[in-house]
């Protein structure tokens, strides 16, 4: 199920065009962000 946090994380990744920068912006590490978006 798509919740608002997952949608927000996806939008940040698209805006940043870089998953590491997006993770920094979301104040989480890159591996958990990758798992969240799978």
pLDDT at 33 over 80: yes
Band (1; pLDDT cuts 50, 70, 90) = low
Contact between residue 30 and residue 21 where contact means Cβ atoms under 8 Å apart: no
What was the pLDDT predicted at 29? 98
Band (2; pLDDT cuts 50, 70, 90) = confident
Indicate the pTM of the whole model: 0.87
pLDDT in tens, 5-23: 999 999 999 999 999 999 9
The pair of structure tokens assigned to 1 is 């199920």
Burial 9-36 (b: 16+ CB within 10 A, else e): beebbeeeeebeebbeebeeeeeebeee
Report the pLDDT averaged over residues 24-28. 98
């Amino acid at each position: 199920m798509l919740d608002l946090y997952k949608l927000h994380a996806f939008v940040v990744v698209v805006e940043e065009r870089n998953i590491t920068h997006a993770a920094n912006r979301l104040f989480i590490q890159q591996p958990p962000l990758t798992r969240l978006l799978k």
